[in-house]
A and B are shown apart, each in its own frame.
Chain A
Amino acid sequence: SVLTQPPSTSGTPGQRVTISCSGSSSNIGSKSVNWYQQLPGTAPKLLIYSDDERPSGVPDRFSGSKSGASASLAISGLQSEDEADYYCAAWDDSLKGVLFGGGTKLTVL
């Protein structure tokens, strides 16, 4: 993937974890970043849009940020139900298409 995420990360309940997403000037550097959560066996769910906005119903434990061509998703007060795959996504002006990161599997220990 042109958007690079760590394949996995882990944390203990109550901890704060961050997931990074690295891109380039043609995507994250100039376009908004969106984050998705995919629980096992289910369709993805929008967690963060437009870099740092939360859709209604998403807990404020989830937050997004962006700096230059990199973005991050932070999850605070980690809970067991946060165990899922997380994907970043952004439009790419060069490819004229949407890019997804490779996904990060979050394990709650």
Chain B
Amino acid sequence: EVQLVESGGGLVQPGGSLRLSCTASGFTFNNYEFNWVRQAPGKGLEWVAHISTDYSTRYYIDSVKGRFTISRSNSKNSLYLQMNSLSAEDTAVYYCVRALSCCYAGFDFWGLGTLVTVSS
């Protein structure tokens, strides 16, 4: 059974940092590209970042460029999101999502999400 389990969310002050992790199981992790997608409270979905299977390609939404870094460890079956210089606008549930090989925006499995709250 495919499982994606996020962790690392919590309450952080503006300007602070947080590192999200996503542990995968039930499939061959290094065969898939991954993304982080977030959802602010009561709002829609927003794609955050993408990473290729071999770490060589990474894309980010403009609002997080220079502040967030997506990474992965194929040996640990894990995906990460290092978030720095956090602001209230980053408050959201962050989902780890697996991408279909056919389509950059085709996300076939989602984790349950981890809540990040940026507040003083």
User: Which residues of A pack against B, CB within 8 Å?
Assistant: 1, 31-34, 36, 38, 43-46, 49-50, 55, 85, 87, 89-91, 95-103
Q: How many A-B residue pairs have CB under 8 A?
A: 75
Give every chain B residue within 8 A of A45 (Cβ-Cβ).
Answer: 110
Give every chain B residue within 8 A of A32 (Cβ-Cβ).
Answer: 102-103, 105-106
User: Which residues of B pack against A, CB within 8 Å?
Assistant: 35, 37, 44-47, 50, 59-62, 95, 100, 102-108, 110-113
Q: Is the CB of A49 within 8 A of B108?
A: yes
Q: Is the CB of B110 within 8 A of A97?
A: no
Instruction: Give the docked Cα–Cα distance between A92 and B105 (Å).
Output: 9
Partner of A43, one of B44, B61, B95: B95
The SS class assigned to the A binding surface is strand
Q: Which residue of A lies closest to B4 (CB)?
A: A43
> Known contacts being A87-B44, A96-B59, A97-B59, is A46 close to B108, with CB within 8 Å?
yes
Give every chain B residue within 8 A of A102 (Cβ-Cβ).
Answer: 44
20 extra interchain contacts, Cβ-Cβ under 8 A, other than A32-B103, A34-B106? Answer: A31-B105, A32-B102, A32-B105, A32-B106, A34-B103, A36-B45, A43-B95, A43-B113, A44-B107, A44-B110, A50-B103, A91-B103, A91-B104, A95-B62, A98-B35, A98-B47, A98-B50, A98-B105, A99-B105, A102-B44
Q: Is the CB of A55 within 8 A of B102?
A: no
> Known contacts being A43-B95, A43-B113, is A103 close to B106, with CB within 8 Å?
no
Instruction: Give the docked Cα–Cα distance between A100 and B110 (Å).
Output: 15
Q: How far is the CB of B36 from chain A (nearest CB, A)?
A: 11
Q: Is the CB of A87 within 8 A of B45?
A: yes
Counting chain B CB atoms within 10 Å of each CB, the highest count among A33, A46, A99 belongs to A46
A-B contact pairs, 22 of them (CB 8 A): A1-B44, A31-B103, A31-B104, A32-B103, A33-B105, A36-B107, A38-B45, A44-B37, A49-B100, A50-B100, A50-B103, A50-B106, A87-B44, A89-B45, A89-B47, A91-B103, A91-B104, A97-B60, A97-B61, A97-B62, A98-B104, A102-B44
